[in-house]
A and B are shown apart, each in its own frame.
Chain A
Amino acid sequence: MPTKSWVEVGRLDDIPRRGARRVTRPGGSLPIAVFRTANDEIFALVDRCPHRGGPLSEGIVQGRAVACPLHGWVIELDSGRAEAPDLGCTQTVEVRLSGNRILLSLPRIEAAAGLQWAAA
């Protein structure tokens, strides 16, 4: 197992309460949304709604959840899971506060899809 590496991406005050900012990764990996709740908790998710890929960083933050701006799915910030009745999951990203500094531990992500036919 590789040792965990933490990257500093900004400070708590850079994100408004009940808001989010985006961390981009020019290498081609998906961007990450970093959230700050009303209680100054910090969470991070891959910035992609499991429904149609909407940018969660643009959503309305409520409690420990965010509503996707495209079609209103509500995603839990701590688990990445969609709230009922929707089903789906966004990958969480490890994040921690060191004093006022926001630190991320970054994963790699990709996706695939397929289509199945029956022969006539």
Chain B
Amino acid sequence: MGNIRPCRERLVVIGNGMAGMRTVEELLACAPDRYAITVVGAEPHPNYNRILLSSVLAGEKTVDEIVINPADWYDEHSIRLIAGQPVDAIDRAAKTVTVAGGETVPYDKLLLATGSKPLAPPIPGLGLPGVRAFRDITDVETMIDAAATQRRAVVIGGGLLGLEAAWGLKRRGMSVAVVHLMPSLMERQLDAAAGELLQRDLDARGIAFFTNGQTEEILGTDKAEGVVLADGREIPADLVVLAIGIRPNIDLARAAKLDVNRGILVGDDMATSDAEIYAVGECIEHNGQVFGLVAPIWEQARVCGARLVGNNVAVYVPPPVYTSLKITGIDVFSAGALGAADDSDDEITLHDAKRGVYKKVVLRDGKVVGTVLYGNVADGPWYVRLMRDKTDVSPFRDQLVFGRAFAEQAGLAPPPVDISAMADTEQICGCNGVSKGTICRAILDKDLQTLDAVRAHTKASSSCGSCTGSVEAILAHLRGGAVVRREDPPLCKCTEHGHDAVRRAILEQKLKTIAETRTALSWKTADGCQKCRPALNYFLLCAWPDTYLDDPQSRFINERAHANIQKDGTFSVVPRMWGGLTNPRELRAIADAAEKYGVPTVKVTGGQRIDMLGLKKEQLPAIWADLNDAGLVSGHAYAKGLRTVKTCVGKEWCRFGTQDSTGLGVKIEKMCWGSWTPHKVKLAVSGCPRNCAEATIKDIGVVCVEAGYDVVVGGNGGVEVRVTDQLVRLASEAEVLEHVGAFLQLYREEARYLERTAPWVARVGIDYVRRRIVEDHDGRRALHDRFLFSQRFVQIDPWAQRAGGAAAHEYRVLAEVE
């Protein structure tokens, strides 16, 4: 054979989603150079994990975190990606595909992975603004926006997707009702008993249910206002989400005269009625079945990839499928048959309604053919394995429903799988279809040391995370039990150095500017990026408070403009109210300013202040000047810095108050305001253990008691709620001020940038903080002194400076033109 490679065959993939790209990955793994590949996708995004859209909606993941194939993956494999453009037509005679932009792309082989469309009931009102499917990133973004501004959502459809949508919207603060056509929820995956437990639990979380609910109409004239059910019930809504199901998207295939029924018809080889055209995923129909879950689609991709590289024996056999629901704290698992089909089948059930645990195993001829689990789903994968291996379970039938540990303890069930004995083909990660062999090869070939690295390279355990333990076990097995974790992760992609290393270098080498620091530490980029520039600016001003010249261009816009940017590009203004105290003069000034500048929204904040939202940047210096006249100054609501000191009224008024919590709060705020910190800092002082100021979920809290003051630290009320750790009980206000100042300075000097006190305290340990702040008296006083020293240079109202003309270019447009 000579070295001249014939011109490569051209593969065109229609659909840039999970099924299509998985097929491409499968074929690249077998024959990386066989095809010149072009991918055409209607969505303007790289391939992402659609299953995890519900996690994005619930705020548990970002869009970035669900991307499966980032843009450079396409480059790496020389794949041409035409994103954001649907295909208009397939010409089978000419073997070309015409893209919406007008381009014609020729193919030798064509792969259809056009997915599905959301189903909609034939009812009036579908076209109204405020009616969405739950299908793609745009839908989720629209729902997140709606949740931010609107109150009531109705989700039509109580299946897997509908419930995940309902929960996500609930998590984002909307009041949510679910309308479901059937008497029980998720009836395709759960039997009535499990469905009932699920409804009870979701009901307890504040989701309202309308089962047996047939939607008749979506109400509204300019936008969705509610839905009407067939029995006359009416549910008001600002947002209506349709999640009643999906239907294969076969428009292109039908227009190209391929054989279609409900889906595009394919054989066991995944080929359509045209031998040059293959199809995979939710758009197909195989043996009368259409698909919505991921496991069978991975198998289709494997077969199709093999066929495309010339394997003539690979055939598609549907694998057992299982379902789990992605609602935090609610565990549901189901696989195979939901119940006995006839008298010869057996059902074994365990039902503990009070504890909310339900297990059912369906048996046929001594073998497991189905399971439904609720509340405790740990044994789900075990039952699936018994199903797949057709294990005769008769010897441990009595123990079966109590789960694997119980059956194995009795010495009856097959022994647990240990990692070393597991076959390379054993699937570890069901979400991403990653086998043990793939994980082992990645760890050895790429010398991976951490779970994160394995996730990045193989995607194993990067989705739902339930196989994290297995992946860690494989890593530990190959690495001799020692899993190495990076202690000090790199600051950003501009450097290999971590936060701690950079801070040490700044002090030891006396680095005084951002440019000097970048040079000394061999930064990879000339300018740095939006991650390292604000971090370096902070590290330097923390290290050299008296001499460092702040770099406004390395500040995030909020800190540069001293106001909070909003999603429409306007800004919000929050004046400081010391300890939450205000007076008629300040309130009058705020009211006057709100009217004078046409402030569309005035909102009381969680930190006991007043937020004026929707101001144009050009208006800021003027409104600040007006507020300054009434004695109001910046509340730094925009800063990685000291935000608020929330207080209750304390013993001055409250019959339970033990100390002057309001007065102490004001003193703390007067000491701390203006301080820049690694992340935002919120404080609170409660006058008694009833804790009305919620001090135990703040960065620093003070809880007054008869005997003095409990100082607590490291709390957070955000995404991950963390209750504070007790630091110390003190007898006087003066001691409280010293401890608070010292703690803040320790945090300022030692935390990573953008690390809140909660993860920082959790990372270094409260014992370490106690040693530095409580036990080391000289150290504490030195920290407090350094805090007060740095405060001398920052306690200048930035609003007054700017109202007086500082940084004027920031608040003026460059020009106005026609």
Measured CB to CB, the residues of A under 8 A from B are 7-10, 14-19, 21-27, 31, 34, 37-38, 52-55, 58-63, 67, 69-70, 72, 74, 84-88, 102, 104, 106, 113, 115-120
Question: Which listed residue, B83, B557, B816, touches A69 by the CB 8 Å rule?
Answer: B557
- CB-based closest 6 A-B pairs: A85-B70, A67-B530, A84-B71, A21-B814, A118-B117, A9-B815
B119 to A120, Cβ gap below 8 A?
Answer: yes
20 residue pairs A–B, Cβ–Cβ below 8 Å: A9-B814, A14-B814, A15-B814, A24-B815, A24-B817, A26-B816, A54-B567, A60-B530, A62-B525, A69-B556, A69-B558, A84-B70, A85-B70, A87-B46, A102-B814, A116-B117, A117-B117, A117-B126, A118-B119, A120-B120
B742 → A minimal CB distance (Å): 33
Alpha-carbon gap, A106 to B817, bound state (A):
9
Alpha-carbon gap, A22 to B815, bound state (A):
7
Smallest CB gap from B552: residue in A: A16
B813 to A22, Cβ gap below 8 A?
Answer: yes
Chain B stretch 15-71: residues in CB contact (< 8 A) with chain A: 44-46, 64, 67, 70-71
Smallest CB gap from A117: residue in B: B120
A18 → B minimal CB distance (Å): 4
Known: A23-B814, A23-B815. 19 other contacts (CB 8 A): A10-B815, A16-B552, A21-B813, A24-B815, A25-B818, A55-B565, A67-B530, A69-B556, A69-B558, A70-B567, A84-B70, A85-B64, A85-B72, A102-B814, A115-B132, A115-B133, A118-B247, A120-B120, A120-B121
- Chain B residues, Cβ within 8 Å of A87: 44-46, 71, 83-84
Interface residues of B, CB < 8 Å — how many?
53
Smallest CB gap from A64: residue in B: B527
Q: A61-B553, A70-B567, A72-B530 are in contact. Are A119 and B120 (CB under 8 A)?
A: yes
A23 to B247, Cβ gap below 8 A?
Answer: no
B815 to A62, Cβ gap below 8 A?
Answer: no
B762 adjacent to chain A (CB < 8 Å) = no
Chain B stretch 525-568: residues in CB contact (< 8 A) with chain A: 525-530, 533-534, 552-554, 556-558, 561, 565, 567-568
How many CB-defined contacts (below 8 Å) exist between A and B? Answer: 133
- Chain A residues, Cβ within 8 Å of B568: 53
Q: A117-B117, A118-B119, A119-B122 are in contact. Are A9 and B554 (CB under 8 A)?
A: no
Q: A117-B133, A119-B122 are in contact. Are A63 and B526 (CB under 8 A)?
A: yes
Question: Which listed residue, B44, B244, B249, B533, touches A60 by the CB 8 Å rule?
Answer: B533
- Chain A residues, Cβ within 8 Å of B244: 120
B530 to A84, Cβ gap below 8 A?
Answer: no
B553 to A60, Cβ gap below 8 A?
Answer: yes
Alpha-carbon gap, A86 to B64, bound state (A):
8
- Chain B residues, Cβ within 8 Å of A117: 117-118, 120, 126, 133
B108 adjacent to chain A (CB < 8 Å) = no
B622 → A minimal CB distance (Å): 18
Measured CB to CB, the residues of B under 8 A from A are 44-46, 64, 67, 70-72, 75, 83-84, 116-122, 126, 132-133, 138, 141, 244, 246-247, 249, 525-530, 533-534, 552-554, 556-558, 561, 565, 567-569, 809, 813-818
- Chain A residues, Cβ within 8 Å of B809: 14-16, 21
Alpha-carbon gap, A58 to B67, bound state (A):
27
B816 to A10, Cβ gap below 8 A?
Answer: no
A28 → B minimal CB distance (Å): 11
B308 → A minimal CB distance (Å): 25
- Chain A residues, Cβ within 8 Å of B557: 58-59, 69
- Chain B residues, Cβ within 8 Å of A54: 567, 569
A58 to B120, Cβ gap below 8 A?
Answer: no
Alpha-carbon gap, A26 to B45, bound state (A):
33
- Chain B residues, Cβ within 8 Å of A106: 817
A58 to B554, Cβ gap below 8 A?
Answer: no
Alpha-carbon gap, A32 to B101, bound state (A):
26
A105 → B minimal CB distance (Å): 11
- Chain A residues, Cβ within 8 Å of B816: 23-26
Alpha-carbon gap, A54 to B46, bound state (A):
20
B83 to A7, Cβ gap below 8 A?
Answer: no
- Chain A residues, Cβ within 8 Å of B814: 9-10, 14-15, 21-23, 34, 102
Q: A23-B815, A26-B816 are in contact. Are A63 and B133 (CB under 8 A)?
A: no
Alpha-carbon gap, A67 to B556, bound state (A):
10
Alpha-carbon gap, A7 to B552, bound state (A):
29
A23 to B813, Cβ gap below 8 A?
Answer: yes
A9 to B817, Cβ gap below 8 A?
Answer: yes
B567 to A52, Cβ gap below 8 A?
Answer: yes
- Chain B residues, Cβ within 8 Å of A58: 557, 561, 565, 569
Q: A106-B817, A118-B117, A118-B247 are in contact. Are A70 and B526 (CB under 8 A)?
A: no
- Chain B residues, Cβ within 8 Å of A113: 138
Alpha-carbon gap, A102 to B334, bound state (A):
65
Smallest CB gap from B530: residue in A: A67
A112 → B minimal CB distance (Å): 13
- Chain B residues, Cβ within 8 Å of A19: 553
Smallest CB gap from A63: residue in B: B527
Question: Which listed residue, B46, B132, B530, touches A59 by the CB 8 Å rule?
Answer: B530
B530 to A104, Cβ gap below 8 A?
Answer: no
- Chain A residues, Cβ within 8 Å of B561: 58
